[in-house]
Amino acid sequence: MAHKTMQGKEIDMEKLMRQHELMPAVGNIRVNARGDELGPGGAIIRKREDIINAYYEDNPAAAPMRAAAPVAASAVPTEPVVTEDANSVQSAQKSKKTQTSGDE
């Protein structure tokens, strides 16, 4: 992915990140640019993947978002589903009762 500077020079940011991913990051946390935990002398103690896996094992509610499974075509109804609400059922029952009682 190349970016242009204001002076018109092109910079390949992905190439630059790959070249410097093992360099220690600037700050008070001892990590490199990838996120690996560093020990004395800049040696990698724990890799980024191990740190992330340990976090998700300790915090199952913080599981990473996953894409939803596609819905099968057979699961989608082809015709609209018609439902009766409770009020219309009760009023229909009352009208039937009045009709049958009036016949007697």
C-beta separation of 25 from 17 below 8 A: no
Q: 23-35 b/e with 16+ CB inside 10 Å = b?
A: eeeeeeeebbebe
**What is the per-residue pLDDT for 101?**
54
**What is the per-residue pLDDT for 45?**
94
Q: Is the pLDDT reported for residue 38 higher than 90?
A: yes
What pLDDT, in 10s, does the model give residues 60-92?
Answer: 888 766 666 676 666 666 666 566 665 555 555
Take residue 14 and report the two structure tokens written for it: 């992905």
What pLDDT, in 10s, does the model give residues 25-37?
Answer: 888 889 998 899 9
Q: Is the pLDDT reported for residue 50 higher than 90?
A: yes
